[in-house]
Structure 1
Amino acid sequence: MNGKAIMSVKECAQILGSNERHIREGIDNKTFPFGICWKSRSGQRIYKISRSALMRFINGNGGDCDSTPED
């Protein structure tokens, strides 16, 4: 695990013992409160996952969806 505030979908999936598709779907449908997604001009989906929001979620303190990756 690196020390950066933002993590990749792959790293998040590894931490949660899940797969990347599941993480993307959870962020897209707002099941997971620790990340955001948007489309670039080219149509590519870009995901940003807040390390601190993910840790709060894992510890049971992140049930709200108002966390942003800038935490």
Structure 2
Amino acid sequence: MTVPLSYVEQNHLNAGSRMAIEIVGDELKIRPQRPRKSLRELLDETPAGLCRADGWDELEAVGGEL
């Protein structure tokens, strides 16, 4: 499939780029398919200490916590 150069440049595509294809009514929609990161990858990229709330473990239970 030939893709317009302006679209290729705008979306940083190259030969072999993965594309998501969807049929909507009588139209074929094509868009870049970006890799999805796993939860482990996202957590590994989180700066140390960012997820920690000071005093969290000392807060009183207020509902149906286990």
- Say whether the fold is shared (TM-score over 0.5): no
The structure that has the greater radius of gyration is 2
Q: Give the TM-score band, short-chain normalised.
A: under 0.3
TM-score by length of 1: 0.23
Give the number of the structure with larger relative contact order, counting CA–CA contacts within 8 Å between residues 6 or more apart: 1
TM-score by length of 2: 0.23
